[in-house]
Amino acid sequence: MSASSSASITLQDIEAVKTYLLSLQDSICSSLEGFEPEVRFHEDTWDRPLGGGGRTRVIANGKVIEKGGVNFSHVKGENLPASATADRPELAGGRFEALGVSLVIHPNNPFAATSHANVRLFVVNKEGMDPVWWFGGGFDLTPYYGFDEDCIHWHQTAKDALQPFGDDLYGRFKHWCDEYFYLKHRGEPRGIGGLFFDDFNEGSFEHCFAMMRAVGDAYSNAYMPILERRKDLPFTAQQRDFQLHRRGRYVEFNLVFDRGTHFGLQSGVGRTESILMSLPPEVRWTYDYQVEPHSEEAKLTEYYLTSKDWL
């Protein structure tokens, strides 16, 4: 959908979104720390001289979580970068502010999927135009060894979260997610999908904000039961090796295709350490890496990473 200025936005609206996002960050971090007997999130609060800042939280070397980041940022800039104006050139040169929560969790156990989520609000002010705003976000799951039960639960939670806002949203946002999280140079999806939406401002600000909150709140309901089921399963060195190779696909997507990463690096308003916190601590690339045919490893791409309808 193309962003428009069909509904107004106030400073109070932006503050309400900020308050929600900070509470969402607190809630998700608390849930994740519940899996860890010893380690806790390290918090790094930062400010930008030109306006805005953020609250980066990273957890590492845990019993369950090898590395995870749950970041809040609220940044402002004088000129939209190319990554944000490619589909809306009329906004080029506009002043902007962006606020959101973005997270990536990389568990130790190869049977526990990597998860990603973000929710955000974007506002653009350009001379001669009314303020333009839109919401974006979603969540997606990247397993290394798939389980039908997990995939169905993930997508059912996503569908249930969107149901109050329209019968068509889950189907639209699932399809968008499948198309977006796709490695074109590999010819394969990054994971089993979930939800993805951007440029969303259909109806009133209150309606759109409520939909974004539903997505943000659903992440914990979708992911924590999966992490609980898989975190203690025994695994072999060979399965760990496969996990590290598949993490390479995750890195490739984030650096080559991800709009959020590109925006943060191109805009000059983000913080590089926070932007790249999504990258796993250990990853492996082997020239012409192959898996055994008809193996559990082969089943990942042959069965799970096929953009199927899990419901």
Q: How far is CA 194 from CA 75, 113, 115, 123, in A?
A: 27, 13, 10, 25
Burial bucket for residue 149 (CB in 10 Å: 0-12, 13-18, 19+): exposed
106 appears as a binding residue in the annotation:
yes
SS (H, E, C) 32-90: HHCCCCCCCCEEEEEECCCCEEEEEEEEECCCCEEEEEEEEEEEEECCCCHHHHCCCHH
119 appears as a binding residue in the annotation:
yes
- Cα gap 102→149, rounded to integer Å: 26
Let me know the angle formed at the C-alpha of 73 by 70 and 76, rounded to the nearest 5 degrees. Answer: 165
274 appears as a binding residue in the annotation:
no
116 appears as a binding residue in the annotation:
yes
Give the residue among 186, 223, 215 at the shortest CA–CA distance from 198.
Answer: 215
Query: Looking at the DSSP assignment, which residues form a beta bridge with residue 70?
Result: 57, 103
Tokens of 174: 């699932």
Question: For residue 58, which phi and psi values (nearest 5 degrees)?
Answer: -130, 135
Q: Which of 116, 153, 175, 207 is catalytic?
A: 116
How many CB atoms are closer than 10 A to CB 236? 9
CB 311 within 8 A of CB 155: yes
Burial bucket for residue 167 (CB in 10 Å: 0-12, 13-18, 19+): exposed
Q: Would you call 175 a catalytic residue per the annotation?
A: no
Please name the residues in contact with 305: beta carbons below 8 A apart, sequence gap of 6 or more: 188, 189, 190, 191, 192
Give the residue among 135, 120, 116 at the shortest CA–CA distance from 270.
Answer: 120
Residues annotated within a binding site for a divalent metal cation: 106, 116, 155, 185
Residues annotated within a binding site: 102, 106, 116, 118-120, 155, 185
Catalytic residue set: 116
Residues annotated within a binding site for substrate: 102, 118-120
